[in-house]
Structure 1
Amino acid sequence: MLTIRALLDDPGLGLRLLVEGRPNALDDNVVWVHNTELPDPSPYLRERELVLTNGVWLPGADASSFVAHVFRAGAAGIVFGLRNQTPETPRAMIAACRLMDVPLLEISAKVPFTAVTRAAARHYAEARQASLLDMVRRGDELAKALTEGAGASGVLEVLRRDHDLPLSVVDRTGRLLAAAGPELSTEQLRVVAERLNGHPPPLEIDLGATVASVFLVGAVGEVDAALLCLRPSGELTRAERDALDQAARFLSLEVAKQQAVHAIELRFASELLDMILSGQHRAAEVPGRLRAFGVNPDGPLAVYALSFAGDSEPTLPGLAEAVAEFFLARNTPAAVAGATSDVVAVLPSRHCEDDLRELAEKLVNTIEFRFANRRTVVGIGGTAENSATLKQPLVRSRDACHVLRNRNGRLRVATFAELGTHRLLLGLHDEETLKDFADVVLAPLRRHDEHRDGELLRTVRAFLDNGGQWTATAEALFIHVNTLRNRMLKVTELTGRDVARTEDRVDLFLALEAGKYYG
């Protein structure tokens, strides 16, 4: 940083201090030097520039007016250059500077103003070089911290060696990744998550007790986390901001790595669901996969299915991680898998049904606090004796979650048996019976679609999903209503079921739903 004191300390300039000016004026930043002989240089002055003048303007203006113009422009101070015509600094100039607390320096007639300019340029070059060297050194230390596995905490440790700042790294789900200094409260983390998910993302976040400066961390082109400095940005120096910006870029590498690890873990867990739903085909793989998550496959197991209710998206990025963290905080091993419409958790069932319900209620409260303004529901699928009988509880938990998600009510947690839905009836039948029923109703449509590259099955699903509304179904399928009517006539011809009749619609709907119970 260039200051008046730095120029005074330069022996090659021989500057003499005549007026010190306001407190700390000699140590404030000087942005550059400005040579002028205008009686009023204020239109051309930048704030914090140091004015160099020989007083050529003196015959046409008085010193107090000149100083007043410089003062109003916010200049850093004045350097008066002596010459043959003015062998000493005018007393009026000194008096005016004292009156307005403007620093005043005197330079000998033997030293040209270009010497001051060269000194300022040299100072900025040295400061820039030092800054670049610091950046390179810090970059090496940050890279070393990440390659040695120190993670986000290692990044903050490197920062704290240079700058004593209170820091935190928080992802967009409100998860604290690292902290150096006072840790954020649960409520503050929730506020950070809300703001990071807003558009545009903030540069500062009001956390109540303090205002935090935000340095965004993006791993895949989006805001995935933030490096927070628990001070307003206006209180940070340029060097501190540069260091924080650099650290945020390195943190993006760490966040990207963590996201890749989470993605692998979620895929690993999602494959578990496929194994369970495949029945006997992959039953032998299920115990090993459960053990990988610390879940004993030989003991009783419970299944939860969780999602957001109402018109909101059923899941959001970070939801599966939040569910996994809930069980981890309670020392409960769980295999947590995220899907498009829900998040499933398979965990040891060491409790009775009331205890499972109480745990589910706590899970809902935790998720709703983490994801504000989202109504959360959990379906409980019952208990399996061991991993070999997990399929039915899994299907039931997801069905219960689906029903809760689409019902308008205050019920947030329910077992499959409590909901009084057609899924309960389907769940009472064995797989072979359900498969036979579905084949009787839908086999003609499958054969037609396979041989003629048709879309009758997809059309029936869309028709039922849209409540039997012709226009809405046609729009969903991007076809004309007449095309839709022709397809449904073909469905009637092949299956003997007329979608205009309620009982035939029920047959088609139940046949489609039955497929969930036999994979």
Structure 2
Amino acid sequence: MNLGTLLNAPDLGLELRVGTDVADRPITRVFTATLRDPRRFLTGGELVLSGMEWWPKPEDSDAFVAGLAQAGVTALGAGTAEAGGILPQHVVDACERHKLPLLVVPVHISFATISERVILGLAAERATPNLDRHRRLVAAVTSGGGLSALVGAGATEVGADCWVISAAGRVVEGTDELRDVPALVKHALRSERMPVVAGGFSVYATTTKQRPLGWFLVVAGDHRTWPTERQEVAAEFATLVELERSRLDEARRIENRAAQPLLRLVLSEQATPNEIQSRLSATELDGTEIVTVSASGTAASVLDDLLSAFDGPALVGTVDDEVFGLLGTPHPIAADLKDMVRTMQPALGRGGLVLGLGRCPDATGLRAAVLQARYARKLAERSPGRVAVMAGDEVASHLLLLAAVPDELRRSFRNQIIGPLSAYDETHKSELTRTLRVFLEHSGSWTQAAAELHVHVNTLRYRITRITELTGRDPGRFGDRVDLYLALADESEHRPP
């Protein structure tokens, strides 16, 4: 397949904006870019599809296009739907500067449509020696039977049990039970080349997108011992799995259109419960218990993939660069999410993924649950490591309240209350901060605190007197004790691991 095949397809309406004599440039695969720098996912010859989210400024366009040119891609297909059909001139200039062919994708054409055309075209070229098998596999895709029909047909053509698994360690579809899926995923994510053999199974990458939560095709047996014809069928099968995935993604994208206006309304302090209920009634979440998720360090597509592993309706949207998810389920999901995030961690590279969770029984508590998820996520961001999941009901309520306070105000409060104490300990190598912490943990019991500190009660009384002088707060008074406790709690959250 080459660029000319796509440019000459009238139903696609692609416009060649940059480049001449490019019709014969070959396309090896189609790739949807969802990050600023996709180079580590490119091997050369790709048609790269990307929206406008990474090109707000000329320098952004230049860096993105330069990376594609360096990777040897065939062309860039620019989607303009999010920009109202307008292609910025600096994108055109960058492609001309780096001699990269640029195609403009009409606003009414989805990336899924282009991906399907390329994938089916490439599959047809590869399948010429196995034309009957190719026709049966494609028929499974076009029959409307979904992924289940495709996996069944693929298993028949390959002659072995097959499964589609996610990078989060879940079986999406399969012909039999598959054990220890996380181990297969971790092996695949750490492999430089695909397919890879692990535990008696051949694992194929299916995704043509650079995103952590791609799918994998698992086939029972070692592909290295198979005849060439069978290897080609398995490779085509993996490609068609990604085509089915792109269709599901397109359907989810349409469903998620309801997420952003709902979330903006929920986050608005002026919204009434009736207004929220009215908006929620237009979704499948109406009448269900709702788990709310706040995410950082990730794209909305990653959270969408994670929530799709659970039974129940889900919506994912972005509001002011913050990603939120809503999942209708009465069941707790924190433990499963933690397992999934740990499994797919190798796919994150240097990036991170932090999730905070909340819960509400109905629309009346939705705003509080969304804020609970946000504050739980802010607390989780202080955890050591690149990935973390924290549910609001796992956290003491006073810590959630602290997380709701702006960083600058919280830092000022902490420094004002216990800053002098920390400075004194640093200068005199004393333990007044620890003494205060132990004293408060024992609810002001002189005997119990002195015993844990291994000091005489009189020594403890002297230290508490010194603490009062330095902080201006008396740990014996309830109001002062609350101030000191909150300042110490916030200091603990900011203490380096």
TM range (shorter): 0.3 to 0.5
Structure with bigger gyration radius? 1
